Amino acid sequence: MKKIILVNGSPRKNGNTAQLLKSAAIGAQDAGAEVTTINLYALNFKGCTSCFYCKLKSKEHGTCAMKDDLSPILEEIKLADAIIFGSPIYFMNLSSGMIAFIERLIFSNYIYSTEIPTVFPKKLPSAFFYTMNMTKDHWEQFNMEHLAGMYERFSENVLGVKPKRLLAFDTLQFKDYSKYESSIFDEQHKIEYRKKFWQTQLDDAYKIGRELVIS
Ligand X SMILES: Cc1cc2nc3c(=O)[nH]c(=O)nc-3n(C[C@H](O)[C@H](O)[C@H](O)COP(=O)(O)O)c2cc1C
Which spans of this chain sit near ligand X (rule: CB under 6 A)? 10, 12, 15-18, 88-92, 131-134, 171, 173
Q: How far is the CB of 124 from ligand X (least distance, A)?
A: 23
Q: Which lies closer to ligand X via its Cβ, residue 63 or residue 133? A: 133
Q: How far is the CB of 134 from ligand X (least distance, A)?
A: 3
d(CA 59, CA 108): 12
Residue nearest ligand X, Cβ-based: 15
Q: Is 46 exposed, middle or buried (0-12, 13-18, 19+ CB in 10 A)?
A: exposed
Q: Which lies closer to ligand X via its Cβ, residue 111 or residue 172? A: 172
Q: Is the CB of residue 81 less than 8 Å from the CB of residue 3? A: yes
Q: How far is the CB of 197 from ligand X (least distance, A)?
A: 13
Count Cβ atoms below 10 Å from residue 173 Cβ, excluding itself.
17
Q: Which lies closer to ligand X via its Cβ, residue 89 or residue 205? A: 89
Q: Which lies closer to ligand X via its Cβ, residue 19 or residue 109? A: 19
Q: Which lies closer to ligand X via its Cβ, residue 84 or residue 134? A: 134
What's the distance, CA 202 to chain centroid? 16
Q: Is the CB of residue 172 less than 8 Å from the CB of residue 16? A: yes
Q: How far is the CB of 192 from ligand X (least distance, A)?
A: 17
Q: How far is the CB of 114 from ligand X (least distance, A)?
A: 37
Q: Where are the beta strands (DSSP E) in 132-183?
A: 164-168
